[in-house]
């Protein structure tokens, strides 16, 4: 099955890489929305969330990585890597297909196919909506808004929701029991838009069955943190 | 017997006379070098000709046969395009279209006859070498000598030197199209707008732009550059020397990658005598806007022995440079404060909104179609009947003072336009020309003599517009056929009515308009075009994709023209940005409605929300480039190959 698509992907790749000299240059870049230290009640943590991308207007390859390392334990509380292909489907939105590997310490690994959309909604909301498909499917919705206090001082509220679609007891996730993460970060564009240090707050909370499972496992259903970090784009 | 040698001599003499121009031949050497650039505010590495950041000036004579040896000292390929010169297409210097480029370490020899006179320039057509500094000036003396006698003659070449190199700028724009926009609307603006218009109105305006995901400040894609005159910033102060009462010719060239400049010399009138290398009927102005890649020659006559500033402000007012005209070196003209930043209005969105659902807007059934003015005279047309204007719907008692044409435009006040019902000859001086840029004032709409057709059909009235009062509007002068109905009026305006980009002179005086340009000598007989080619200028601001008819260069078929035909190009700007469109190899005759006196140009700026026509006599066979001259727009796809079929090889 998969083999059928490989020639198509290869052809697309060739058309991008083997483009004539006069063609548009290949675009590449790195964008970390979060690269931060979280001060929490329990263990402090180091957290990142970045995209590394390369491609053209028509097709972009994206390596998305999200992770959380406990400060004292050094364990990966969360570790997620995705390889995504992004293709425009409208003026402001891309479709996304990819694969995701979630491999934190102390929990079974999970692998998913990813289908989603990513883009800019009216009123400048940056939206990511992805369906993760496997034996343990879930839906994730992320939205972010950049409010310009000045042309360099930017307040970025964000919200992320993870909604398990099936129970995954080994990971304390119950179908229909969402986890929310809301944050607000104030950044300052120090060097162009390449380096923008920020401070902010972040709050995570589980609801429904997921919350019950966390309580049963002796873990907190919510966590509040003060964050210090920097956005990076180059 | 005798007549024969005489005849021989005559033939010989005639042959000599014919080839006379061509016996004039010059050889020029240009090296392309990696150089260190000092932009005043920063230093960087870039590319320069003959090892210098001050632009090389090539001086030719009309009729000369030139040989130009271009030595490439870079580690990459290069090219030189002779911007505006009519040359055989193999000499045009566009890699992939006219030749293969100049490999590193090699010398390429250009050879072509100079068939024209005037001010032009040259630049690399390879990658981002032009933004990185690879440009120079060309001055061609007419066969019979300059028609305007001056004592001083200076090239004033403008550029926008950016601390980032071109490929990085492009990559950043693709990553985030607003990467370089540091003039965005902020909370502070929202607070100020709320104070002026009320919080609800301010929010609504914000929401309107947000709905389109557009910004009223998207005038300059790439900010943060240092504007330079002849390679010098304000502190370095390029200076042209003069003695009082001498006539000075300035050859203004805009070699910027991305920046339109508004140029003025406070205290002096500039008489425009040439545009894009072609002489025009002299027109005295206080200020002019020079689009990317255009040239204007102006004549000045400073009477006082003092330093005058040559002020070039970027169109978006994010940067300014000052040079000087001075009796001696070391004196500098004043540096005025930069004027406030303009904001785009809904009029500049004209083209974009066609396909968009502007649900929040209530046009209230406005019909200007019956409003026609045919009189050429300077009196109000007797038959102008406003009663035919159907203003049903939400229009409650038309009063322009309440008209809000934009998200961020404050108070459009027409009520200050003075005219009473029976006024026959209206004096424009009664128009309020207040300097408040926040107040969009229709007095800045040039509705006087030269305005040929004002097209109100693209005017967009946001929901807040409760009423319009045209009775107070001054429509004087020789408005030849003001047409509120025809969307594709023959000539169109060069700014959308109500556009936020409409310039005005800093001293309230005359600002040059394309309508003022009139060819001094027609190059071509006026004849009807054989066909019209429609070129919609399109783009996706968010993805930083620029295109023509929705197709990028990479995916587009070439435009095919036939040798000997006269084509009419119809440019419809559907984007919110201005695009200076440049056709290689052939002239673009800009339709200003003057027939054979229409100005002849190589670069024509198309403002947002406007439709502009040019015509071209297809008199050059071969393959040519046709593109927006904003470097990053061209690279992103606003580019076409033109193939001229037939004709002499
Ligand atoms: Cu353009």
B172-195 pLDDT tens trace: 999 999 999 998 999 989 999 999
CB-CB contact of A100 with A80 (8 Å):
yes
Q: How many residues does chain A have?
A: 234
Output B391 or B615, whichever has higher pLDDT. B615
For residue A18, the distance in angstroms to the closest alpha carbon of chain B comes to 13
Query: Does the pLDDT at position B275 exceed 70?
Result: yes
User: Mapping DSSP to helix (H, G, I), strand (E, B) and coil, where does residue B13 land?
Assistant: helix
Interchain contact, B213 vs A192, CB within 8 Å: no
Q: How confident is the model at residue B349 (pLDDT cuts 50, 70, 90)?
A: confident
Of B304-313, B344-353, B414-423, the poorest mean pLDDT is in B414-423
Name the pLDDT band for B43 (thresholds 50, 70, 90). Answer: very high
Look up the ipTM and state it: 0.89
Chain-centre distance for alpha carbon B581: 9
A25 near B CB under 8 A: yes
What is the distance between the alpha carbons of residues B78 and B30, in angstroms, rounded to a whole number?
12
Mean pLDDT throughout B561-578?
A: 97
- Among B226, B207, B71, B89, which Cα is nearest to B162's? B226
Return contacts of A197-203, CB within 8 angstroms, 24+ apart.
A197/A228, A197/A229, A197/A230, A197/A231, A198/A36, A198/A156, A198/A227, A198/A228, A198/A229, A198/A230, A198/A231, A199/A226, A199/A227, A199/A228, A200/A156, A200/A226, A200/A227, A201/A225, A201/A226, A201/A227, A202/A38, A202/A226, A202/A227
Lowest-confidence segment of A107-111, A119-123, B49-53, B457-461 by average pLDDT: B457-461
Question: What's residue B449's pLDDT?
Answer: 31
pLDDT at A23 (0 to 100): 63
Q: Is the pLDDT of residue B491 over 90?
A: no
Q: Name every residue whose Cβ is closer than 8 Å to that of residue B111 and which is 6 or more positions away in sequence.
A: B65, B66, B67, B68, B91
Q: Region B589-606: what's the mean pLDDT?
A: 96
Q: Is B359 on the interface with A (CB under 8 A)?
A: no
Mean pLDDT, chain B, as a whole number?
A: 80
How would residue A3 be classed by pLDDT, with cut points 50, 70 and 90?
very low
pLDDT tens by residue, B195-206 = 999 999 999 999
Whole-angstrom distance, CA of residue B646 vs CA of residue B649: 8
**B203 close contact with A: CB closer than 8 A:** no
Confidence class for position B351, pLDDT limits 50, 70, 90: low
Q: Which of A94-98, A211-215, B258-262, B397-401 has the lowest mean pLDDT?
A: B397-401
Q: Are B213 and A92 within 8 A, CB to CB?
A: yes
Chain B residue numbers with beta carbons less than 8 Å from the beta carbon of A122 are 210-213
Across residues A75-102, what is the average pLDDT? 97
Residue B462 has pLDDT above 50, yes or no: no
pLDDT of A24: 74
pLDDT for position A223: 93
pLDDT per residue as tens digits for the range B319-340: 999 999 999 988 999 999 999 9
Q: Are the beta carbons of B187 and A149 separated by less than 8 Å?
A: yes
Chain B CB contacts of A123 under 8 Å are 207, 210-211
Please answer yes or no on whether B175 and A192 come within 8 Å at the CB atom: no
pLDDT at B246 over 60: yes
CB B398 within 8 A of CB B368: no
- B145/B416: higher pLDDT: B145
In this prediction, residue B473 carries a pLDDT of 35
Of the spans A8-12, B241-245, B377-381, which averages the highest pLDDT? B241-245
Token pair for B456: 């109100």
Counting every residue written for chain B, the total comes to 649
pLDDT digits (tens, 9 = 90+) for B53-64: 999 999 999 999
Q: Residue B602 pLDDT > 90, yes or no?
A: yes
- Beta bridge pairs of residue A99: A83, A113
Among B96, B167, B543, the residue with its CB nearest the CB of A57 is B543
Q: In percent, how much of chain B has pLDDT > 70?
A: 74
Q: Which of A4-8, A213-217, A226-230, B569-573 is predicted least confidently? A: A4-8
Which residues are within 8 A (CB) of A41 and not within 5 positions of it... i.e. 6 or more apart?
A220, A223, A224
- Mean pLDDT calculated for residue range A124-149: 97
Q: Give the span between the Cα atoms of B448 and B457, in whole angstroms.
A: 19
**B213 vs A contacts (CB less than 8 Å):** 92, 120, 122, 124
- Give the predicted TM-score (pTM) of the model: 0.81
Mutate to test the interface with A, among B162, B180, B186 (most CBs of A within 10 A): B186
For helices B187-197 and B199-212, the axis angle rounded to 10 degrees is 130
B 59-118: CB under 8 A from A: 95-96
The span from the CA of B288 to the CA of B506, in Å, is 10
**pLDDT tens-digit profile of B162-176?**
999 999 999 999 999
Tell me if B187 and A27 make a contact (CB, 8 A cut-off). Answer: no
Q: Report residue B50's pLDDT band, with 50, 70 and 90 as the boundaries.
A: very high
From ligand 1's centre to the CA of B537, what distance in Å? 8
pLDDT the model gives residue A41: 86
Structure tokens at A73: 């334990």
CA-CA distance, B382 to B423, in Å (whole number)? 11
User: What's the CA-to-centroid distance between B581 and ligand 1, angstroms?
Assistant: 8
pLDDT > 60? residue A138: yes
Is the sign of the CA dihedral B103, B108, B113, B116 positive or negative?
positive
pLDDT level of residue B439 (50, 70, 90 thresholds) = very low
């Amino acid at each position: 099955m998969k083999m059928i698509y490989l020639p198509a992907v290869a052809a697309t790749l060739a058309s991008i890489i083997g483009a004539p000299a006069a063609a548009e240059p290949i675009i590449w870049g790195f964008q970390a929305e979060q690269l931060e230290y979280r001060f929490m009640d329990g263990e402090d943590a180091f957290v990142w969330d970045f995209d590394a991308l390369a491609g053209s207007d028509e097709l972009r390859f994206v390596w998305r990585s999200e992770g959380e390392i406990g400060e004292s334990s050094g364990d990966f509380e969360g570790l997620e890597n995705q390889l995504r292909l992004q293709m425009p489907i409208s003026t402001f939105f891309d479709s996304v297909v990819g694969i995701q590997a979630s491999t934190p310490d102390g929990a079974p690994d999970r692998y998913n196919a990813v289908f989603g959309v990513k883009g800019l909604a009216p009123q400048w909301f940056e939206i990511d909506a992805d369906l993760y498909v496997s034996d343990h499917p879930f839906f994730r919705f992320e939205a972010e808004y950049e409010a310009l206090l000045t042309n360099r001082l930017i307040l970025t509220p964000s919200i992320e929701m993870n909604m398990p679609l099936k129970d995954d007891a080994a990971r304390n996730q119950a179908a229909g029991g969402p986890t929310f993460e809301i944050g607000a970060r104030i950044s300052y564009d120090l060097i162009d838009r390449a380096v923008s240090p920020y401070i902010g707050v972040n709050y995570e909370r589980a609801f429904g069955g997921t919350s019950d499972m966390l309580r049963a496992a002796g873990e907190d259903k919510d966590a509040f943190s003060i964050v210090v970090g920097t956005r990076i784009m180059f | 017997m005798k007549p024969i040698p005489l005849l021989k001599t005559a033939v010989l003499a005639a042959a000599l006379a014919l080839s006379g121009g061509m016996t004039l031949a010059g050889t020029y050497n240009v090296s392309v070098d990696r150089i260190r650039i000092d932009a005043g505010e920063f230093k960087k590495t870039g590319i320069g000709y003959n090892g210098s950041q001050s632009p090389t000036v090539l001086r030719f004579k009309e009729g000369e046969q030139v040989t130009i040896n271009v030595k490439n000292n870079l580690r990459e390929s290069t090219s030189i395009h002779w911007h505006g010169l009519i040359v055989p297409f193999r000499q045009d210097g566009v890699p992939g279209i006219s030749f293969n480029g100049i490999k590193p370490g090699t010398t390429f020899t250009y050879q072509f006859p100079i068939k024209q006179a005037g001010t032009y320039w040259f630049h690399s057509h390879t990658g981002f070498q032009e933004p990185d500094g690879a440009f120079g000036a060309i001055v061609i003396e007419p066969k019979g000598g300059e028609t305007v006698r001056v004592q001083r003659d200076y090239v004033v070449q403008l550029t926008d030197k950016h601390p980032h190199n071109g490929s990085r700028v492009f990559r950043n724009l693709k990553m985030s199209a607003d990467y370089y926009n540091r003039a965005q609307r902020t909370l502070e603006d929202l607070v100020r707008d709320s104070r002026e218009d009320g919080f609800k109105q301010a929010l609504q305006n914000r929401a309107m732009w947000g709905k389109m995901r557009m910004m009223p400040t998207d005038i300059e894609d790439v900010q943060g550059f240092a504007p330079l005159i002849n390679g010098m910033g304000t502190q370095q102060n390029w200076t042209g020397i003069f003695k009082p009462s001498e006539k000075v010719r300035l050859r203004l060239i805009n070699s910027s990658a991305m920046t339109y400049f508004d140029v003025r010399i406070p205290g002096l009138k500039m008489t425009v005598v040439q545009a894009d290398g072609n002489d025009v009927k002299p027109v005295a102005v206080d200020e002019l806007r020079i689009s990317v890649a255009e040239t204007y020659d102006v004549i000045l006559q400073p009477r006082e022995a003092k330093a005058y500033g040559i002020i070039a402000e970027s169109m978006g007012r994010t940067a300014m440079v000052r040079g000087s005209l001075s009796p001696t070196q070391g004196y500098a003209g004043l540096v005025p404060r930069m004027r406030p930043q303009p904001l785009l209005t809904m009029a500049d969105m004209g083209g974009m909104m066609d396909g968009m659902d502007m649900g929040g807007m209530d046009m209230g059934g406005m019909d200007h179609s019956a409003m026609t003015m045919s009189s050429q005279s300077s009196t109000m047309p007797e038959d102008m009947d406003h009663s035919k204007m159907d203003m049903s719907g939400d229009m409650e008692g038309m009063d322009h003072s309440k008209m809000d044409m934009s998200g961020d435009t404050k108070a459009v006040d027409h009520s200050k336009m003075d005219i009473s019902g029976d006024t026959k000859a209206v004096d424009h001086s009664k128009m309020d020309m207040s300097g408040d840029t926040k107040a969009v004032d229709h007095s800045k709409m040039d509705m006087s003599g030269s305005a040929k057709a004002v097209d109100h059909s693209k005017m967009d009235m946001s929901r807040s517009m409760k009423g319009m009062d045209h009775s107070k509007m001054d429509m004087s002068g020789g408005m030849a056929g003001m047409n509120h109905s025809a969307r594709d009026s023959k000539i169109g305006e060069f700014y959308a009515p109500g556009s936020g980009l409409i310039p005005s002179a800093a001293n309230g005086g005359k600002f040059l308009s394309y309508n003022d340009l009139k060819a001094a000598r027609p190059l071509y007989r006026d004849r009807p075009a054989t066909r019209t080619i429609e070129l919609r200028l399109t783009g996706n601001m968010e993805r930083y994709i620029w295109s023509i008819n929705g197709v990028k260069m990479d995916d587009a078929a070439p435009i095919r023209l036939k040798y000997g035909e006269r084509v009419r190009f119809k440019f419809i700007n559907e984007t919110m940005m201005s695009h200076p469109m440049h056709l290689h190899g052939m002239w673009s005759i800009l339709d200003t409605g003057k027939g054979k006196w229409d100005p002849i140009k190589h670069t024509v700026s198309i403002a947002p929300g406007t439709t502009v026509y040019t015509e071209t006599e297809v008199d050059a066979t071969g393959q040519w480039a046709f593109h927006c001259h904003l470097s990053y727009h061209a690279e992103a796809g606003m580019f076409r190959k033109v193939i001229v079929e037939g004709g002499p090889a």
